[in-house]
Chains A and B, each alone.
Chain A
Amino acid sequence: MSEVAPEELIVVPLAVAAERLQIDPFEFMRLLVMMGEVPATLQISEALIDRVRAAAGIELWWAEDVLLPTDASPSRAIVRAALRQLLERGFVGARATRIDNLWRGRPEDEALLRRAVSLLHREGMVGMSRSRAGVVVSVSPAAVPQLDAAVRGESMPAALAALA
């Protein structure tokens, strides 16, 4: 017993573990299966929560200090801030991130950001695919200058005009 780290001993129910990562409990289960780490009981240790977070690339981008750019449209400001994070963190081409990282910490804007990603995906500016880590997105390399300009507020892709 003594050699087991407290992180392995301290356990929380599945629903709480999923809430810690701000994901759905069934998505938590899916990730456990993909990792081959389904525990004997669904009391999840803190260490396992951390491993799931790392394996799936679950990140919290919307910390309190994230500033929204000045924009006449509040929706567009949020989309620009999300795109800025995507670009700044280098999620371009083959380097993709879970789509829900875009709105984790800002659940009230999930629908808006889902729609924005969908519109950009349709225009080929954002790549989207299913992987063992979940649905992942990245900026298409050819679209970096255009989205960078959008982030800076210099121009907005036509695909996002409807969001204004």
Chain B
Amino acid sequence: MDAPTEHLPNVAEALARAVDTRASRERDLLGELEALGAERERLRVAILSLEAQRAALDPIEAEVRAELTSLDDGAHEVLFNSLIAQRAAVAARAELVAEAARAQRDAARETTDNIDALLVEYRQFRDVIEPTLPDLPATYRSVLKAHHDGVVSRLRQFFSRVGADPVPLDAPALDLDVVIGVDGDGAEAVGVTIAIPVSGDVRAATLEGAPELELTLAARVVQAIYEGLDAIGQPTAVTAFGDHRGLLVVEVEVEPTDRADLVDQLLGIMEDVLGTSAELLAAGVRVRALEVPADHLFPPEESSDTLEDAS
């Protein structure tokens, strides 16, 4: 019986296995390197693609930022659209007021003939005849005086009927806004802008026969502005009147002042003047003065509208 053979490590085989093992490991590692290279390449391409995508975001971002910078909440547009609608309502109300005043005047004329001729006669006496009275004989003087007294009496009768009091209108209340914007903190010159719901050419239009209510409303606002300027000690501040989108806009340049005091004075006086104006009350017009951020009164892009210096 053969004795069992102990299998001992064979150097040659061991070396051959080691070579195989190394070769196998080398193949694996080379494969891994290849895979890493492929992955690296894939990532490089992916990075290029991402960078391209990132670069593509730049103009979009710039666009968004630009829009953000110039973001407009539409305040200017809605504000002026509201005032324009109010202006149309004022114009309609003005027609009603004019009609009522005409009716009252016509009724008064029925009982006082030829008022225009009486006025001409009255002014002629005052300007031409009266200065010469001392030079006339007493009899002429008394006849002329007696005639003139008759003219004055008839004029008094007429004007006591039509007078200066506005005719109360039976119409629903008309609520309007006068909008004030104050630009600046008061440390430097302050620009005050006031938008009024009347036509920008209200002065010329009234002279050409447009009903007076629009001019009256504007004039009362102007009164409040000057009273406010007087109250803060700046009665000679530079004032300019202009037209923006068909509406009357007033700009005032105020020397450095307490901003809060300026706003309080303007709003308070405006409320007082507009709330007690006999013409506005009779016409059923209620006006609220309110302050808005100054940039609400300026269009998003510079307007080409011009202002006319009041002086």
Contacts and interface: CB of A to CB of B under 8 A. Distances in A.
A29 B223 contact: yes
Interface stretch (A10-18, A81-89, A118-126): A10-18
Contacts of A131: 236
Nearest to A25: B203
Given A15-B207, A15-B212, A29 B164 contact: no
Contacts of B230: 33-34
Highest count of chain A CB atoms <10 Å: which of B164, B218, B227 = B164
A42 B216 contact: yes
Interface residues of A, number: 34
B75 interface: no
A43 interface: yes
The binding surface of chain B is classed by DSSP as: helix
A51 interface: no
B10 interface: no
A71 interface: no
Contacts of B159: 6, 9-11
Contacts of A40: 164, 278
A57 interface: no
A30 B226 contact: yes
B298 interface: no
Given A10-B119, A26-B219, A34-B235, A135 B311 contact: yes
B310 interface: yes
Given A24-B203, A41-B166, A132 B236 contact: yes
Interface in B214-247: 215-216, 218-220, 222-223, 226-227, 230, 235-236, 238-239, 241
B235 A32 contact: no
Interface in A81-111: 99
Contacts, number: 91
Given A34-B235, A41-B164, A43-B164, A29 B156 contact: no
A134 to B, nearest CB: 6
- Give chain B's interface residue range (CB within 8 Å of chain A): 20 to 34
A105 to B, nearest CB: 18
A135 B238 CA distance: 10
Contacts of A6: 122, 152, 155-156, 159
B160 A1 contact: yes
Given A26-B203, A132-B235, A99 B160 contact: no
B226 A33 contact: yes
Contacts of B218: 26
B279 interface: yes
Contact of B160 (A9, A24, A32, A130): A9
Interface in B149-192: 152, 155-156, 159-160, 163-166
A4 B156 CA distance: 9
B166 A26 contact: no
29 contacts: A1-B156, A1-B160, A4-B156, A9-B156, A10-B155, A11-B163, A13-B215, A14-B215, A15-B207, A15-B212, A15-B215, A16-B207, A24-B203, A24-B310, A25-B219, A26-B219, A27-B310, A29-B226, A33-B223, A34-B226, A40-B164, A41-B164, A42-B216, A43-B163, A45-B164, A99-B311, A130-B236, A131-B236, A134-B311
Interface of A: 1-2, 4, 6, 9-11, 13-16, 19, 24-27, 29-30, 32-34, 38-43, 45, 99, 130-132, 134-135
